[in-house]
Amino acid sequence: MRRRTFLRAAAAAGALAWPANGLPAHAASGGVRGMIARYLGPAAGQFELRTLPAAANGLDRFQISGRPGHVVLAGSSPIAQAAAFNWWLKHVANGHISWDYNRLDHLPALLPAPATPITLSSPHRIRLQGNVCWLGYTSPYWDWDRWQQEIDYFAASGYTHVPMYIGHELAYYQLLLDIGYSDQQARSWIPLPAHQPWWWFDNMSNFAEPIPLDLMRRRAELGNRIAERMRELGVTPVVPGFLGFVPTDFGQRHPGVDVIPQGNWGAYVRPSLLNPVEPLYRQLADDFYRQQDRLFPGGQRAYGGDFFQEGGQVGDLDLAAAGASVQRAMQAASPGALWMLQAWSGNPRQQMMAGLDLSTVFVLDLQADVDPQWTKLDAFWGAPWTWGTISNAGGTVVLYGRLPAINTELPAVLADPRRGALAGVHFAPEGNDTNPVLGDFLSDMFWRSQPVDLPAWISDYAARRYGRRDPEADAAWQLLLATAYGMSGNTGNVDTAPDSLFNAQPSLTATSADIYVTGVLPYDPGQLQLALRRLLAADPSLRREATYRYDLLDVARQVLDNAGRTLLPQLNEAFLAGDRTRFRALADHWLDLITLQDNLLGTDARFMVGTWLDHARRSASTPAEAALLDYNARDILTAWGNRAVSDAGLHDYANRDWQGLVGDHYRHRWALFFDSLERGTTVDWFAVNDAWNRRGNTYPSTPTGDTHQVASRVWRTLAADPMFARVTAAVSGSRVDVTVANTNVAGVARRTTVSLSAPDGFDTGGPVNLGDVATGGSAHTAFTVRVPSGYVVKTAMDRIPITATARFGYGATALTNAGYAELLIPAPVQPPYRTVTFTTSVFGQKDNSFAIYTGGADMWGGINEFGTIYRPATLAVGGSVTTEVTAQANTGPWARAGIVIRDDLTTNGTAGYLTLALTPGNGCLLSYDGNGDGELDGLVIAPGFAAPSQLRLTRTGPTTYTGTCSHDGTTWTTVGSVTVPGGGAAQDVGLFAEAASTTTMGLVRFSGFTVT
């Protein structure tokens, strides 16, 4: 077979995948040569591996030299030799490997060598890949073939350390048997594979069926094989240490031993902590490490483990002594082994670090690129530490990366005199196998101490990933660098971009599927859409490359996800406006976009839920076990546990843009939701998720369709989508201002006209011609709405719906879009009531009903922006005021509506100031001025209340007040009793509202205003 033909056949699927029992001898052998052979086949014989002395500071270095057909890779360690191979492949041979697809079939028969030797050294002693979470979110069910590919990628990327917990649960199981737990009890405590990382973190224990013993044994065999291969390549496995986490009944079994309950992690009860200073701890630790050594021999390892990961209770624990005890047990088991700690959720604690031998620990500053802890914790008090990035939460499929931050901040930290014992760098996504450009860039930066020319680097990356320089592909990547991969600066936020709203638990106000990540897109989505257009326009020859097709799908997928952020608010507006016809049309369009997304994802096996579920089922040895693992693999993506856990907010944390999951489960949820809105019913989302988790149906894992064709359909669909001609209407008195903003990057909104509609009798005038609205431009007009003569106000504040309709064309297609507003017609407030506002407000009263339409940023500290209908000098000692908040606009979770008391409500800063209020998202609040300075500074909360609810505020003494809330006016809940100094004999009392927003106003309605 000719050389090129061989390589083309070997890499036809992109990632080289040899048959499990058919590896050639040169590929089956261990070490770096075996890795090269698994990538290049017989061409591995053209490499000579040599040992190179380490750099003067003891750090890794490599050198690449030789001649065509004889390439010399010299390295100070096996991992340096492996990294030299990847550097040669990228920067000499113009090849490419990644954790999705490789491009290797272009290499010539005689492999090239550099014209002059390339010598590089790494400024980083530790280069760690992986977050322990990825063992649950990405790889819990991988087989050996899949693991081989990942390990080779780790080694070629130059990683020195990788967390590897697979199968170590068997050591814990044996420990539990040794201390008296039964087989059933032990297996009922240990979670199934996808949830095990959080068990190791002491966040949870098993919530499902007991884990099968035979499964643990098979995983231990696999884990040992993985660790052996890692060590052959110079990668140190980071394995779980024993910190003393035990079942919650352990203290009952061992009375007199100090066992500290750890409370809850969300709705999960955390395992307890056996105090590591107890003699029993050392006995258990030694037993655990003996079991671990028996199952996983080989020596070279580091340990992972943290106290108080995302919570927990310190109790009477002496942190310094506890940490020292844990470290002594680790060192007894594996002298010289490092203990990996995480700078996360308040860890590491200085008290514990003070008791440690810092020469055998290192700290991961997990998201140093956005929220660095080393600057806050004195560079971890002298402990070695690593700088790094997470970039992914839950393994979600999101186009995101902070390349500029990595490029500038990592070299800056290396030169910062405050850096302390900086020892390395890490790349720790919670899920792997997304955003391959990040791993590629980091593997270069491991060997640099200065920033690169990032636009030039990204251009070279595209050329070697696709096999040629293409101007359209290059332009696309420059746009990607300016958008999804262009973030920099320390934001203090979770290190990821928002996920897909198609994947969210349905809500018309959703901003993310995972409630713990940002809901704001950090770049201009139109520019990413232009990147899609440029990728589609690349030379057709690129379509043969799996790498190009993967990126095209990934960009098109993200563009479609981003479009959901434009469409969903318009769905909400149509629903709130009561425009049922348009709401149904937009809902159908939403479902069609989900179907289009599913079709796109189905063109690549790496974006298919069938691939994920196949791995789980193939891990099983019986049909019953296959069903159990299928459930576990689904549950981690959807409910993330039992009902309490899901309802507490963990649902959809690990959502995925995967074919089958999107088109079947997520689409079904949205269809149910839209139907429930029209019928006025509710949906039990946990039941829906749990039913899918237990269905047991299969999904395809073989792709269908042409990626370029479906991605082109995505472009065409969005290019003609009317949602991008955004129509907004704003009312001021009788004037309605209408704006049409064209955010469609594909073209001009031509021949645009706008008209207003209102109920019969209201005169809105005729349509207005706005002409063409350019891409990125907007057009504006104003209308005057005339109220019918003799109109009688029916409520405290009548709401007259106004619809602004724009008609326009994208190309030859005639389209419409709409926006909504309300003309407010208040009935006048009558004596003895008065009004005052410290923001923009409109007030109305009809008999015993009241209404306030208002803005206002907040009511706390020096900010007092609200509007009130009040009675002056009315509330005396022993008096009370009662009202019902019948409706409250959800302008924000902390918006307030209720009762306000003050000596003088017309003047901010006066004494005796307090409020009792409902909020849309935080229950009933009693806020008060506790020190008499005229500002609200105290807060008591009663959760579970929202409009409609009744409120009562009673002045029980000259300076004491009690607030109560009721759902029905019969059963009252005491929110709190507070002391507010300085109240006068008779205080002003009012109904008030504030929007908790600087941009949005909202309407609140009250029934009754009774003062006794």
Task: Supply the pLDDT for residue 892.
Answer: 86
pLDDT of 4-32, one tens digit each?
333 333 333 333 222 222 333 333 347 99
Task: Supply the pLDDT for residue 516.
Answer: 87
Q: Is 803 within 8 Å of 756 (Cβ atoms)? A: yes
Query: How far is the C-alpha of 304 from the C-alpha of 348, rounded, in Å?
Result: 13
**What does the angle CA 346 – CA 384 – CA 135 come to, to the nearest 5 degrees?**
65
Task: Supply the pLDDT for residue 399.
Answer: 96
Task: Supply the pLDDT for residue 298.
Answer: 83
Q: What one-character DSSP code corresponds to residue 90? A: H
Closest CA to 773 of 738, 802, 803: 738
Closest CA to 731 of 1003, 392, 921: 1003
Query: How far is the C-alpha of 904 from the C-alpha of 873, rounded, in Å?
Result: 8
Question: What DSSP element (H or E) covers 437?
Answer: helix 436-445
Task: Supply the pLDDT for residue 56.
Answer: 86
Query: How far is the C-alpha of 186 from the C-alpha of 180, rounded, in Å?
Result: 10
Residue with tokens 């770096």: 32
Query: How far is the C-alpha of 543 from the C-alpha of 706, rounded, in Å?
Result: 10
Residue 503 one-letter amino acid? N
**What does the angle CA 117 – CA 120 – CA 121 come to, to the nearest 5 degrees?**
150
For the chain (length 1012 residues), average pLDDT per consecutive 10? 34 30 39 97 97 92 98 98 98 96 95 98 96 97 97 98 98 98 98 98 95 98 97 97 98 96 94 98 98 92 96 95 98 97 95 97 95 96 96 94 95 97 97 96 97 98 97 98 83 75 95 90 96 98 98 98 97 93 97 98 98 98 98 98 92 97 98 96 96 97 98 98 97 94 97 96 96 97 95 96 97 94 96 97 97 96 96 97 96 94 96 97 95 95 96 97 97 97 94 93 96 96
User: In whole angstroms, what separates CA 725 from the centre of its chain?
Assistant: 29
Task: Supply the pLDDT for residue 518.
Answer: 86
Q: Is 850 within 8 Å of 844 (Cβ atoms)? A: yes
pLDDT of 474-520, one tens digit each?
999 999 999 999 976 555 566 778 999 999 999 998 999 998 888 88
User: In whole angstroms, what separates CA 210 from the centre of its chain?
Assistant: 30
Helix, strand, coil percentages (3-state) for the chain, rounded to 5, are: 35, 25, 40
**What does the angle CA 401 – CA 407 – CA 411 come to, to the nearest 5 degrees?**
140
How buried is residue 496: exposed, middle or buried, by Cβ count under 10 Å (0-12/13-18/19+)? Answer: buried
Query: How far is the C-alpha of 926 from the C-alpha of 517, rounded, in Å?
Result: 30
**What does the angle CA 157 – CA 159 – CA 165 come to, to the nearest 5 degrees?**
125
Sign of CA dihedral 688, 693, 696, 699: positive
Listed in sequence order, the DSSP H helices in 602-705 are 609-618, 623-635, 643-645, 667-679, 685-693
Query: How far is the C-alpha of 111 from the C-alpha of 121, rounded, in Å?
Result: 24
Residue 428 one-letter amino acid? A
pLDDT of 859-893, one tens digit each?
999 999 999 999 999 999 999 999 999 999 988 88
Listed in sequence order, the DSSP H helices in 246-303 are 250-253, 279-295
Task: Supply the pLDDT for residue 490.
Answer: 53
- CB atoms near residue 684 (< 10 Å): 12
Would you state the torsion angle of the CA atoms of residues 704, 706, 712, 714, taken in this order, to the nearest 10 degrees?
10
Listed in sequence order, the DSSP H helices in 240-358 are 250-253, 279-295, 319-333, 350-353
Relative to beta strand 749-757, strand 768-773 is antiparallel
Would you state the torsion angle of the CA atoms of residues 886, 892, 893, 897, taken in this order, to the nearest 10 degrees?
-40
On the CB side of 527, CA atoms within 13 Å amount to 15
Q: Is 308 within 8 Å of 284 (Cβ atoms)? A: no
pTM, two decimals, is 0.90
Closest CA to 134 of 655, 654, 662: 654
User: In whole angstroms, what separates CA 6 from the centre of its chain?
Assistant: 42
Bridge partners, 363 (sequence order): 341, 385
Query: How far is the C-alpha of 317 from the C-alpha of 844, rounded, in Å?
Result: 60
929-951 CB burial, b ≥16 within 10 A, e <16: bbeeebbbeeebebeebbbebbb
Task: Supply the pLDDT for residue 487.
Answer: 79
Sign of CA dihedral 48, 51, 55, 61: positive
- CB atoms near residue 610 (< 10 Å): 19
Relative to beta strand 118-121, strand 61-67 is antiparallel
Q: Which residues contact 654 (CB under 8 A, 6 or more apart)?
A: 137, 394, 395, 396, 431, 514, 636, 637, 640
Closest CA to 553 of 523, 532, 526, 538: 532
Cα distances (Å, whole numbers) of residue 586 to 350, 566, 613, 816 = 55, 12, 33, 12
Task: Supply the pLDDT for residue 492.
Answer: 53
Beta strands in 305-421 (DSSP E): 339-343, 361-365, 385-389
Bridge partners, 799 (sequence order): 824
Cα distances (Å, whole numbers) of residue 455 to 430, 449, 475 = 27, 18, 10
Task: Supply the pLDDT for residue 931.
Answer: 94
Query: How far is the C-alpha of 495 from the C-alpha of 501, rounded, in Å?
Result: 18
Number of H helices, E strands in the chain: 28, 40
How buried is residue 612: exposed, middle or buried, by Cβ count under 10 Å (0-12/13-18/19+)? Answer: buried
Cα distances (Å, whole numbers) of residue 959 to 725, 928, 930 = 56, 11, 10
Query: How far is the C-alpha of 524 from the C-alpha of 484, rounded, in Å?
Result: 9
Cα distances (Å, whole numbers) of residue 912 to 856, 858, 871, 959 = 21, 19, 15, 8
Query: How far is the C-alpha of 839 from the C-alpha of 718, rounded, in Å?
Result: 40
Residue 337 one-letter amino acid? A
Q: Is 104 within 8 Å of 95 (Cβ atoms)? A: yes
Quote the tokens at residue 8.
């083309």
Residue 832 preceded by cis peptide, ω within 30: yes
Query: How far is the C-alpha of 369 from the C-alpha of 402, rounded, in Å?
Result: 8
Query: How far is the C-alpha of 856 from the C-alpha of 869, rounded, in Å?
Result: 15
Relative to beta strand 768-773, strand 725-732 is unpaired
How many residues appear in the chain?
A: 1012
What values do phi and psi take at 581, rounded to 5?
A: -65, -50
Q: Is 223 within 8 Å of 164 (Cβ atoms)? A: yes
Query: How far is the C-alpha of 474 from the C-alpha of 460, rounded, in Å?
Result: 9
Question: What DSSP element (H or E) covers 163?
Answer: strand 161-163
Cα distances (Å, whole numbers) of residue 519 to 492, 516, 566 = 15, 9, 13
